[in-house]
Structure 1
Amino acid sequence: MALVVTLALAGGTVAVVSPAQAAPTKFKNCTALNKKYRHGVGKKGARDKVRGRTKPVTNFKVSTAIYNANTKLDRDKDGVACEKR
């Protein structure tokens, strides 16, 4: 039995949200996250912190909700979890 939530939005629009859409996925580790989001996940406005001449990763998935569910995977605390070229 599937649980479905119906939301009434402004202007008479109705949105149907399944539980999978309602809560972002919490990944066990960066390997699991990178299988779905190849270059990592960052919150809006985040920039990859790098050292030396390394270029920052800019093509990560931008999603504050997914990032917030996986903040423990952001080892350098730059707002991008599991960044990878």
Structure 2
Amino acid sequence: MFTGAAVVAAPAQAATTYANCKALNADYPHGVGKTGAVDSTSGTPVTDFTVDDDLYNANTKRDRDGDGIACEKR
């Protein structure tokens, strides 16, 4: 018979879903991308975005050009 205390893991913190790019860029000035994403701009690509798969997945609606980076900004 088990008489020890049960160990319960704390729930993982959910990634923030931002209302718009202005709000996301306030926390992540160059945007948020998934692993392996490359900016598809015809000019100078943004390379200094934050890579965070969970955060990107929570904000995929903010990736208008479908390149794997939400709210990319120079």
Gaps of 5+ in 1: 1-5, 8-16
Instruction: Number of aligned residue pairs: give it.
Output: 67
Greater fraction of residues in helix: 1
Say which structure, 1 or 2, has more relative contact order (CA 8 Å, 6+ apart).
2
Structure-2 residue corresponding to 1:59 = 48
C-alpha separation between the residues in 1 aligned to 2:41 and 2:50?
Answer: 18
Instruction: Give the TM-score of the pair, scaled to structure 1.
Output: 0.74
Larger Rg: 2
4+ aligned runs moved over 3 Å, structure 1: none
CA RMSD, Structure 1 to Structure 2 (Å): 1.3
Greater fraction of residues in strand: 1
Gaps of 5+ in 2: 1-7
Q: Percent identity?
A: 57
